Amino acid sequence: MIKQLDYKPIYEIFARFREAEAEPKGELDHVNAYTLVVAVALSAQATDKGVNKATAELFKVADTPQKMLDLGEDALIEHIKTIGLYRTKAKNVIKLSQRLVDAFDGDVPSSRAALESLPGVGRKTANVVLNMWWHVPTQAVDTHIFRFGNRSGVAVGKDVVAVERAIEDHIPAEFQQHAHHWMILHGRYVCKARKPLCSTCLIRDLCDFEEKNID
């Protein structure tokens, strides 16, 4: 395993990310906190582009928990059947919508524990919602962040919880708010799984990836 980077190179890495894109944005389309929860829940084992295509029409008719319940599971399936695991996801969306109505008066709660009480919502989804909607500096570790964190030495850990803790412990506070978006976007478009674009990487000189001279 690559050694955890020290403060100075991590600071410089995120300073460069900030200079390149000061306000990185998530790529899942949504119109309110509820549709963000639904979009993130649907994105498991699916691309953001694919989710956005499926929800473009869905969110026009079901942008609240009650409207989703009124739409019903069968009609929901018709909207999202191009997404992987769509039947299971449809059941969870209906269940989480019912719980929001029953337990939270139709509002999306703003604590991690309450969010994780919703069917189909795990820690990663909760962290995304907390970060994107309420601007809490939470770290939602997906495959892109896990790969980039361990390759680069920015956030080293054997599992997603360990990487999340490494991000919180090692990345300077001023970068925490946007850290997970910078890392997701870098992992998705530059530090790719099979063929990372090391030759054009803006942090190549600071990265500890042992195979970065493969291009």
Whole-angstrom Cα distance, residue 41 to residue 95? 12
Assess whether 124 carries a catalytic annotation.
yes
Within 65-175, where are the H helices?
65-71, 73-80, 86-104, 112-116, 123-134, 143-152, 160-170
Nearest alpha-carbon partner for 57 in 89, 84, 90, 35: 35
Sign of CA dihedral 56, 62, 63, 68: negative
Residue in 142, 159, 195, 205 annotated catalytic: 142
Residue in 89, 124, 205, 212 annotated catalytic: 124
CA angle 11, 148, 166 (to 5 degrees): 60
Q: Note whether 76 and 98 are within 8 A (CB).
A: no
CA angle 53, 119, 129 (to 5 degrees): 60
Q: How many Å from the N-terminal Cα to the C-terminal Cα in the chain?
A: 22
Whole-angstrom Cα distance, residue 155 to residue 1? 11
Active centre residues (catalytic): 124, 142
